[in-house]
């Protein structure tokens, strides 16, 4: 049976891959900054552990045997895992790496992250966290600049060159003041909003854009709009009777359960958004971001 210890044999794997890449033990040693006998010894030790000759040795140079060619892609993956494991352990043991910065939309940052972060803090009491609300483009820009470790966002807002890790889904909800006539109906068509005042966010906000698209599709012209900044302001404005609003469901679950707000059931429902964590490729991701992802997915 082949037994290769990913961590203990990382040096052997690295030497083997260097010989395969550079076509010789001397050139591999030069690239690794070690002596040629060291590389030879490491490769020979790996071959003994695997139980097969991986490198063909000749005066003209070194090359992969059939077994070596088959083993090489697995070696690369094993080495990547070993390196990632070392980085994770070093980061967890280092005080300065116990800081986690996350950016994202207001609803997800405010309502989805705190419970998961609280559980993470139970395991890592020294953990310091910075949460920043930002529009999708700004959050992604901060991630690319290394200013945050990960971004909580809708799937559609994450570029394909970043890793997206799905966590859950959230449906938009039409909210009304408690006791509003529309909130008492079983199903309401969107065109019933014609003549109603709507409480909306500022221009350019994702939820404002989604609402306006829904209104256009239904041919609805509201009586007016009350523009406010922030989800809490939206909820309080609706609760005071100044209008209706479409908001992420995660932001009003407790308000609906307590009766502070009413829900208007829309025929056919409102759009549902898949959301999760965006981060660089797993090789470059922050270990604390990965820990946060585990807490989020476990809760779901």
Q: What angle do CA 55, 60, 61 make, to 5 degrees?
A: 35
* Residues 10-93, CATH architecture: Orthogonal Bundle (1.10)
Q: Per-residue pLDDT for 134 more than 70? A: yes
Helix 36-50 vs helix 25-32: crossing angle, to nearest 10: 110
Phi, psi of 218 (to 5 degrees): -90, 0
Nearest to 143 by CA among 286, 295, 273: 286
What's the CATH class of domain 170-270? alpha beta
pLDDT, tens only, 236-284: 999 999 999 999 999 999 999 999 999 999 988 888 999 999 998 766 6
CATH 3.40.190.10 fits 97-168+274-299, yes or no: yes
Residue 104 gets the label, from left (phi > 0), alpha (psi -120 to 50) or beta, of: left
Where exactly are the structural domains of the chain?
A: 10-93, 97-168+274-299, 170-270
pLDDT, tens only, 205-222: 777 888 888 888 888 899
Instruction: Tell me whether the CATH fold assigned to 10-93 matches the one assigned to 170-270.
Output: no
Range with the poorest average pLDDT among 17-26, 54-63, 127-136: 54-63
């Amino acid at each position: 049976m082949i037994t290769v210890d990913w961590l203990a044999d990382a040096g052997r794997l690295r030497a083997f891959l260097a010989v395969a890449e550079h076509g010789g033990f001397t050139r591999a040693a030069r690239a690794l900054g070690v002596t040629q006998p060291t590389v030879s010894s490491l490769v020979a030790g790996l071959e003994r552990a695997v139980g097969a000759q991986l490198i063909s040795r000749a005066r003209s140079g070194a090359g992969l045997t059939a077994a070596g060619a088959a083993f090489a892609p697995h070696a690369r993956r094993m080495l990547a895992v070993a390196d990632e494991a070392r980085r994770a352990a070093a980061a967890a043991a280092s005080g300065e790496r116990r800081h986690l910065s996350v950016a994202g939309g207001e609803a997800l940052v405010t309502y989805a992250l705190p419970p998961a972060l609280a559980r993470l803090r139970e395991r890592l009491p020294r953990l310091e966290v910075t949460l920043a609300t930002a529009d999708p483009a700004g959050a992604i820009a901060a991630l690319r600049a290394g200013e945050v470790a990960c971004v909580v966002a809708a799937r559609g807002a994450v570029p394909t060159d970043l890793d997206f890790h799905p966590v859950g889904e959230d449906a938009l909800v039409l909210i009304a003041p408690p006791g509003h006539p529309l909130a008492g109906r079983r199903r309401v068509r969107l065109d019933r909003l014609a003549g109603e005042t709507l409480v909306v966010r500022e221009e350019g906000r994702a939820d404002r854009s989604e609402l306006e698209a829904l209104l256009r599709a239904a041919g609805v012209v509201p009586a007016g709009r009350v523009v406010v900044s922030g989800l809490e302001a939206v909820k309080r404005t609706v609760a005071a009777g100044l209008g209706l609003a479409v908001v992420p469901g995660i932001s009003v679950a407790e308000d609906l359960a307590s009766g502070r707000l009413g829900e208007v059931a829309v025929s056919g429902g409102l759009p549902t958004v898949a959301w999760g964590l965006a981060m660089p490729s797993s090789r470059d991701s922050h270990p604390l971001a990965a820990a946060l992802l585990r807490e989020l997915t476990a809760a779901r």
